[in-house]
Structure 1
Amino acid sequence: MRILKRSALTLLAVITTLALVVGGYVLYMQHQYYRIPDHQKLTIGNNQAATLTTGKVYTATTYNVGFGAYNHQFSFFMDAGELKSGTKTRGKYGTARSKAVVLTDTKGVERVMQAQQADFMLFQEIDTNSTRSKHVNQVRMVENKFHGYGHVFANNFHSAFLMWPLTDPHGSVQSGLLTLSRYHIGSATRRQYPVTNSFISKFTDLDRCFAVTTIPVTNGKQLLLINSHMSAYDKGGKMRKAQMKLLNAVIERAYLASNYVIVGGDYNHALGKDMLTHFASQEKVPDWVSVLDQSMVAKGFTMVKAQNRETVPTVRSTDLAYRSGVNYLTVCDGFLVSNNVTATATNINTDFDYADHNTVKLTFILK
C-alpha cells in the first residue's frame, strides 16, 4: 500500500512539474510575442549619390536566401507534403546543419549576386541573429561584400525561442528583408502585412512585411522599389489575399501619383495557373500553394513573366532533401511593374545550391 501511495505521489509530482514547465513556456512565448508596428521608418546605410534617369537600362534581382540553411541535404520541419504514390513526407531539421553550412551558403549567394552585377538587390529571409542560422549575421556579411551599395534592412521575422522540434529546436529568430541600391534612396519604410492571430499560428507564421524604398529620378518623379515576402503557412491563401489587397492599394496609389513602381520578392504563390503543375516531380501540389495571376494585380501593373520560366523554377519543396525530378517545383519569385516601366525578367538557375529558391533578374527602363 505504501509503495502504491509513493508511486502515485511520484507520478503526481512528475505530472505537476510537466504542467508547470509547459505552462511556464506558453506564458514565456505569449509574453515575448508582439507585432512590429506599421509605417516604421527604416535606416538607410551607406547611401549613394547617383540618381536614376529615364530611358536607361537598369537591373534588379530578388533572392530568398533561406537563412543560409538550404543546401541539397536540408529539409525543414514545418513543411509537409505527399508523394504521388501516397507516401506522406515531412521535413526534418529546425536549424542549419552547422555554422560552416551557413557561411558556405551565404558566400555562395554573394557569388551568385556578384555575377549578376545588378543595380538593385532584394533579399528575403536573411538573418541577423538567429538560432536557426547559428547566429551568423548574414545581413552584415552581404552589406560588407557589396560596399558600393546603399542598404536598408527591415525586420520581418522575430520570435522567442521555439522549442521545436525537440531534437533540433528552431530557437529564436531575427530575420528580414535586405535591399541594396547603387542609387540614392530618399526614404525607406516598413509596411506591415496582415497576418493570422490564431494562438498557435501566430508563433510560427511570424510577422510579414514589405519594405518601400523611394529612389529619386531626374525628371522629378520617384521609383518606389518594394521588397516583399508574403506568408507561407497559409492553407487556402486567405492571409495572402489580404496581403495582396494591401500591396495593391499601396502600389496603385503610388502609380496614380505619377511615380514608377517595381515590386520584387517571394510571393509564396505560383505565379500563374500554368506554373502550378508545370514542372515534373514525384510530389503532389502542396497545400500552401495558391495561384497569383494577372487578374489579382492592381490596375496599371504587369506581372513580369521570366523569359525562361518554363525551364527554370524559382522554388523547391522543403519537406524533402533536394533530388532533381522528385521535389515539387514552381515559380513563386518575381516582379510586378507599373505600366510606365518597360521590363523583362530571367530566372537564374543556381540548381538550389545555396537556398531553396533561385534568384530572378529584372532588366528595366523607366519611360
Structure 2
Amino acid sequence: MIQLEKSKYESLKKVGLALLSVILACVIIFCGYYIYLALHYYRIPDNQRLKINNNQSQLLKAGRSYKATTYNVGFGAYNHDFDFFMDSGQLKDGKKLQGHRGTAISKQAVLDSTNGVIQTMKKQNPDFMFFQKIDTDSTRSFHVNQVKKVEDDFPKMDSTFASNFHSAFLAVPLNNPHGTVRSGLLSMSKYKMDSAIRRKYPVSSGPIERFVDLDRCFVVMRFPVTNGKDLVMINSHMSAYDKGGKMRKAQMKLISSVMEKEYRRGNYVIVGGDFNHALGKDMMTHFEHQEEIPSWVSVLDQKMLPKDFTMIKAQNRENVATVRATDMKYDPKVNYMTICDGFIVSKNVQAKAYNINTHFEYADHNPVRLEFELK
C-alpha cells in the first residue's frame, strides 16, 4: 500500500514538473519575444525632412481649378473576402464578430488590388494624390512594393514617402502572422514641391499598444504659387485602435496648430487623408447595416476645427460611404459603414468633394476627390 502511494506520488510529481516546465518555457518565450519587440521598437524623430522624387517644375496659380484625391489602400489586402484580426464587433442581434487574417489572402490579391487602385486613380486624373497604408516591403502584403508600382505608373508626378509603420516580426495571429511591416504615406503631385516634412503624431505608449498603433504621422508639403504664397498640403492618417478617441484628440490638437500657423502666414492649407473619425455625427448611423457601432468610432465635426477651416462634405456623402468594418468579409447589407476620409481646407480655398464608389473592391476604403480653387 505504501509502495503504491509512493508510486502515485512520483507520477504526480513528474506531471507537475512537466507542467511547470511548460509554463516556464512559455514565460521565457513570451519574455524573450517581448524583449525582441522592444529592442526593435523606435519612433522616427519629429520634423524629419523627406526626400522628394522626380520633382516637377510647374507652379500653381490662383484662380485655376485643381483636383486632389485621398485613398487608404489597406496594403492591398482588403478585397471583399478579407477580414482583419485586430477588428472585432457585434451584430445588432448580439452575435459576436471577429476578423481572422493577418496577411492578404495571396500575393496575387495584393497585385490585383494595387492595380485596381492605380486604374481608379488614372480615371480620376488628379493633380495631387494622397495614399495611406501603402506598403514597401511587408510580410502582410507578400513584399509587394506598392509605392514603387504607383510611382512607376505616374511618371509625370513627383512623390514623397513617409514611414508610419516599421515593425519587427509581429507573430499574431499565430495561424497567419502579420509579420514585419514597412508601410506609410505616399504623396504625389504634378507641381513643384518645395519641401516635405514628416510630423510625428502622439501615440499610445502602453506596453502592448505601442507595438501595434503604428508610428503615426502626417506630412506637410509646401507648393509655391505664382502669387508668392504657398499651398500647404497635408497628408494625414490618424490612430484607429483608440477607444474613446484620446489619442485622436491629441493628434487633432497638433495638426490644428500647424494648420492655423500656416494660414496666419497667408498661405493656402488643405488637409486630406484618413481621419479615423466619423466626419459628422450624422454619419455615425446614416448607412444601413446590421452591426453595432464599433468602439473605435469617434466623431469629428466642424466645431472641432480651427475657426478659419472648413470640413468639405462630399456632394454624394448621403449615398457613398468611405470605410467599411473589417471584422467580417464584405457584405453590403451587413457591414458597418461610415465616412472617415476626406478633406479640410482653409477659407481662402474654394472646394467641393465627391466620394468615389469603388464598392470596396480594392480596399476597405473608398477614395475621395477634392476639386478646389485657390482664391
TM-score tier (shorter):
over 0.9
Indicate the residue corresponding to 1:16 in structure 2: 24
Deviation at 1:341, TM superposition (A): 0.4
SS in 1 for 2:118: helix
1:174 and 2:175 aligned: no
Alignment RMSD:
0.9
Indicate the residue corresponding to 1:344 in structure 2: 352
State the alpha-carbon separation in 1 of the partners of residues 23 and 347 from structure 2. 63
Deviation at 1:217, TM superposition (A): 0.3
Indicate the residue corresponding to 1:76 in structure 2: 84
Query: What is the aligned counterpart of 1:272 among 267, 270, 280?
Result: 280
- CA offsets 1:240-290 (integer angstroms, 9 cap, x no match): 000000010000000000000000000000000111100000011111000
State the TM-score, normalizing by the size of structure 2.
0.96
Indicate the residue corresponding to 1:239 in structure 2: 247
State the alpha-carbon separation in 1 of the partners of residues 12 and 332 from structure 2. 58
1:326 and 2:334 aligned: yes
1:98 and 2:89 aligned: no
Deviation at 1:359, TM superposition (A): 0.4
Deviation at 1:6, TM superposition (A): 3.8
- CA offsets 1:326-348 (integer angstroms, 9 cap, x no match): 00010100000000100000000
State the alpha-carbon separation in 2 of the partners of residues 302 and 6 from structure 1. 70
SS in 2 for 1:45: coil
Deviation at 1:324, TM superposition (A): 1.0
Identity %: 61
State the alpha-carbon separation in 1 of the partners of residues 107 and 214 from structure 2. 24
State the alpha-carbon separation in 1 of the partners of residues 23 and 309 from structure 2. 58
Bigger Rg, which one: 2
- CA offsets 1:2-45 (integer angstroms, 9 cap, x no match): 54444444333323222211111011011111111110000000
1:63 and 2:67 aligned: no
Indicate the residue corresponding to 1:253 in structure 2: 261
State the alpha-carbon separation in 1 of the partners of residues 13 and 336 from structure 2. 56
State the alpha-carbon separation in 2 of the partners of residues 127 and 220 from structure 1. 36
Instruction: Give the aligned residue type for 2:243.
Output: K
Instruction: Give the aligned residue type for 1:287.
Output: S
Indicate the residue corresponding to 2:361 in structure 1: 353
Bigger mean CA deviation after superposition, 335-344 or 156-165? 156-165
In structure 1, runs of 5+ residues without a counterpart are none
State the alpha-carbon separation in 2 of the partners of residues 14 and 89 from structure 1. 32
1:52 and 2:60 aligned: yes
Query: What is the aligned counterpart of 2:217 among 209, 220, 229?
Result: 209
Indicate the residue corresponding to 1:119 in structure 2: 127
State the alpha-carbon separation in 1 of the partners of residues 178 and 306 from structure 2. 37
Indicate the residue corresponding to 1:285 in structure 2: 293
State the alpha-carbon separation in 2 of the partners of residues 294 and 13 from structure 1. 58
Instruction: Give the aligned residue type for 2:40.
Output: Q
- CA offsets 1:48-78 (integer angstroms, 9 cap, x no match): 0100000000000000000000000100000
SS in 1 for 2:141: coil
State the alpha-carbon separation in 1 of the partners of residues 360 and 334 from structure 2. 14
Instruction: Give the aligned residue type for 1:198.
Output: G
Query: What is the aligned counterpart of 1:32 among 40, 43, 51?
Result: 40
Instruction: Give the aligned residue type for 2:87.
Output: D
Query: What is the aligned counterpart of 1:225 among 233, 248, 252?
Result: 233
State the alpha-carbon separation in 2 of the partners of residues 252 and 23 from structure 1. 45
State the alpha-carbon separation in 2 of the partners of residues 153 and 302 from structure 1. 27
